[in-house]
Structure 1
Amino acid sequence: MKKITLLFLYFTCITAFCQKQYKKTLWDNSCNCPVQFATISNNDNYSISNEDGLFNIITDNDSVIFNMLGYEKLSFKLSEIKNDTIFVKSKAFLLDEVVIHSNNIYESIIKSKKTDYTVEPHVEKFFLRTIIRKNNEIIKIADLSGKIKKQGVLKIKDKSSKDNLSVEIDNYRKAYALKKDYRFSFLSSINHFFYSHNSTNLLVSKNFNFNYSTLKDSSYTKMNATLKKDIPGSDIKGYYIINNDNKNFERTNISFFWTDNNYIIIDEDLKFRGLSQNIDTYYKKNIANNKLQINKKIVNFKIENIYDGQKDTIEVSYIYFAEPINSSVKVKDNVNHDKSLFDLKFKYRNDFWETQEKLPLTKEMQLFINKIKQSEYNYTTKTNIK
C-alpha cells in the first residue's frame, strides 16, 4: 500500500512539474496598441488576452495558436519566445475600386442566418466581466463564470425569464468603491445583459447604405453600413465581417452616438443622457451542430450623469465569452435574474481565481482591488475578494 501511495505521489508531481505557466502580451505594431480579447489555444487549454493584451496560460504543451479575426493566424512555441511581448500583424481591408450598389451580399447573409446559426436551445460555459468607470476611474468590477442555457443566438422567445434563460453561477468576484450618497442610473441585472445583448444586432438594409472592402487574399469581405437619412441628435453606423466561402457573418459591429441634450429624468435629483454605445459580436461554430453562435461580445456604453447638480461621465463595459458544451448538461438556475451583477452573493473561491486564465485582471483592475483591500478609499467599499 505504501508503494502504491508513493507511486501516486510521484506521478502527481511529474504531472504538476510538466505544466508551466506562460504570461505574454500580444501587441499590434501597426497601431502600437495591445491586441485585446484574442484567443491563444492548444488542445489542452486556452486563454484570452485582456485589455492590456496580456494572456496567461497554464499548459504542458507549449505549442499554441494565436487566432483573431482581422489578424494573421500564428502557430508558435511559447518556450521559444524569449521576450514578454509577441508582435502580431493585422490584415488590412482594401476598398474595392468598384462600389457595389446592389444588396446581393446582404441578402445572402440574411438568408444564411436562418440555416447556419444556432436558433435552438443550447448550453454554454461563460465568463462575464463588467466594469464601471466614473470620470475615467474604475468604481465597480464584477467577474462571473458559470453555465447558461438559452433559447438561441438570434432571438429569445417572448416568454417568462425562467422559460427562456437559465443561469448557473459557479464563480464570482466583485469589488466597488463609491460614495454612499452618490447615485447613477443604468441597467446591470442578469436579465438586462443576457436579454438585451443575446440577440444578433443586424443593420436593416432599408435603413442603410453599404460599401464593401475585401482582404488581399479575398477570404473576407467587410460590409460597412451608414444611415441613408440623418437622424437629428443621433447617428448609427456599423459593419459585418463576412466569410466569402459560405457568406456567413463572423463578426458584427454597431455603434450609436447621441448628440442631443435630451435627458431621461429619474427624479428631481437624478437625470442622465446617453452619449454612445458600441456592440461588437464574434461568432464561432458549435462542433456539435456545426452552427454558429456567439463566442464573444464586447459592449461599451457611456452616459452623462447628473446627480444633485454634479455632472459625471459614467462608462460601462461588458466583456462576455462563451464556449458551447453538450446540450444535455443540466443548468441549475441559482441566481435571481433581476439582481444587479454587483449585488450577487456568492463566496470567493481562491482555488479558481488564483489560477484563472481565461481573462487576466488588467493592471488598472489589480490596482483598484488592492486599494480596496487596503482600505485606501475614504468612502464606501465592498469586495468578496480575499
Structure 2
Amino acid sequence: MKLLFLSLFSLSIFGYSQHTTNALVLDSSDNSPLEFVGIYNGKDHTMTNADGRFQFTSTIDSITVYRVGYDKLTTTSQKIKDTIYLNKSVLELNEVTVTNEKTLWQKIGDSLKSNYPIHPYKEKFLLRGILRYNGEITRIQDIQGKLERRTLLYTKEIEPDKKDFKVALTNMRKVGLVKDENDVYFIFESFHSLFMNLIPLNATGDDFDLTESSFDNGKKISINFQSKPAIKDEDYSGHYIINTEDYAMERFKMSSKLYDKPFKKGGKHIRFRTVSYDKEISLSKSSNTNTYYIASARYDVKVELTDEENSFTSFYDVSFILTTSDNEGDFEVKKNVSTSKDLFKINYPYDQSYWNAQNQLLLTDEMLDFIKKVQDPNSEFKIKSNIKN
C-alpha cells in the first residue's frame, strides 16, 4: 500500500507542475496570423498552425516564441496572454567591400560538416498533407512516426539513393475525397520524394541576382536571390538566412513560377501541368549536439488540370508541412511502410486518444469544419478515412 500511495503521489506532483498555454501569434504590423512560429524551451516544442494558434505543454515554466525574420520573445507561461504580437526584425543595408577575406559562401561551405549531420541519424516527425480542389479542402492527412535519414544534406561525396530514408509509422489520421467531379484521383507524394523536396537548394551562380541585408545587430544575414531572364519560362525568388556566428543556414525560402509549360497526360483524357511550387525550410540548432536540423518545413504545389478538349480548367493545391523532434534520438526505427508509396494510399489504424492529445500542430478551424462535413453520415461524398466516430 505504501508503494501504491507513493506512486500516486508522485504522479500528482508531476501533473500539477505542468504548464499548458494556448495563444494566438500575430504580426504586429498588420495583425495577420503567423504560421511556423516555434514555441519551445529546453525540453519541449510546438509550432503555430495556419491560423497562428498553438497549444504548448511543458513541465518547465519558460517559453521562447520565435520565427526567423521576427524579434525573439522569451518569457514564462504565466506571462503569456491570449494574443502574442511579434515585431519584424529591422533589416540593415550592407555596403559592398572588396577584400581578400573569404566570401560568405566559402565560409558556409567550410562549416558544412560541423553545422549539419552529414551522417545517418534518427528523429521523430509529424507530417501533414492538405489537398484543395479549386480552393476547397478535399483531403487531410496527418502522419506521426520515426525517421532514419542517411544524411541531412547531400555533398559531392554523398549521392541521393532510394534507400536514404527509413520510416516507422506510429500514428495516422486521414480523411478525404477519393476522386473529384471529373473522376480524377490526385496522387500524393511518397515519403522519399517529399523528404528530397524538403532539402535546401543552391540558388546561386550566374543565373541569379543576389542581394544582402543584415539584421539582429549583424548576427543574421539575409541573402535574397532572383532568377535572371535567361532562365526561360521560369521565375525563382527567395532568400537564405545565415547565422554569422557559425555561418549556418537557418532558413531557406523559395517561390517558383512556371509559365506555359506543356501539359502531361494523366490518363482518361486528362492533362495536367505544374504551375508553381514553394518551399520554406527552417533549421534550428540542438543544444545537445550543437548541430542544425530541420525543425519545420513546408512544400506547396499548384497543378492545373484539364482534358484533351479543354472543356474545363481546374486547379489542385497540395501542401505538406513537416515538423521534427528528438533529432539524433536513441531509439529503434523498425521500418513498417514503403517510402515510395503514395502517402494517401498508406493504411494505418486510427488512435483517437493520441490525436485528442496531440498539440504539436493543431488543426485549423477550416480543417475541423471539413472533417465534420465529410464525416456526416448523410454526406453524399465518397470518402476514404481511417477516423472512427
Map 1:207-356 to 2 at 5 A.
207-215=207-215, 217-267=217-267, 269-307=269-307, 309-326=311-328, 328-356=330-358
SS at match of 2:354: helix
Q: Cα offset for 1:354? A: 0.8
Q: Cα offset for 1:267? A: 3.4
SS at match of 1:342: helix
Structure-1-length-normalised TM-score: 0.90
- Over 3 Å counting, the alpha-carbon distance change for 1:204 and 1:241 in structure 2 is same
1:35 equivalent in structure 2:
34
Deviation sequence 1:316-351 (CA, Å, 0-9, x none): 111111224445532101002222211211111122
Deviation sequence 1:265-321 (CA, Å, 0-9, x none): 223511112111111111122445422232221111111112573311111111111
Deviation sequence 1:83-127 (CA, Å, 0-9, x none): 42111212132333x356899223322333244221111111111
Deviation sequence 1:44-81 (CA, Å, 0-9, x none): 42221111110012234443111222221112222234
Map 1:70-109 to 2 at 5 A.
70-81=69-80, 83-96=81-94, 98-99=95-96, 104-109=103-108
SS at match of 1:354: helix
- Over 3 Å counting, the alpha-carbon distance change for 1:271 and 1:65 in structure 2 is same
SS at match of 2:337: coil
Q: Distance in 2 between matches of 1:14 and 1:116?
A: 39
Q: Distance in 2 between matches of 1:288 and 1:216?
A: 24
The answer to whether the 8 Å contact 1:184/1:270 transfers is no
- Over 3 Å counting, the alpha-carbon distance change for 1:227 and 1:107 in structure 2 is farther
1:191 equivalent in structure 2:
192
Matching residue's letter, 1:366: L
Q: Distance in 2 between matches of 1:10 and 1:248?
A: 46
Matching residue's letter, 2:337: V
Q: Distance in 2 between matches of 1:160 and 1:66?
A: 37
SS at match of 2:89: coil
Matching residue's letter, 1:368: F
Q: Distance in 2 between matches of 1:236 and 1:111?
A: 26
Unaligned runs of 5+ in 1: none
The answer to whether the 8 Å contact 1:179/1:379 transfers is no
Unaligned runs of 5+ in 2: none
Structure-2-length-normalised TM-score: 0.89
Q: Cα offset for 1:353? A: 0.9
Q: Say if 2:122 is the partner of 1:117.
A: no
Deviation sequence 1:136-161 (CA, Å, 0-9, x none): 11111111111111111112955763
Aligned residues: 381
Matching residue's letter, 1:234: E
1:367 equivalent in structure 2:
369
Q: What is the CA RMSD across the aligned residues, in angstroms? A: 2.5
The answer to whether the 8 Å contact 1:24/1:55 transfers is yes
- Over 3 Å counting, the alpha-carbon distance change for 1:20 and 1:294 in structure 2 is closer
Q: Say if 2:83 is the partner of 1:54.
A: no
2:4 equivalent in structure 1:
5
Q: Cα offset for 1:27? A: 0.9
- Over 3 Å counting, the alpha-carbon distance change for 1:172 and 1:268 in structure 2 is closer
1:150 equivalent in structure 2:
149
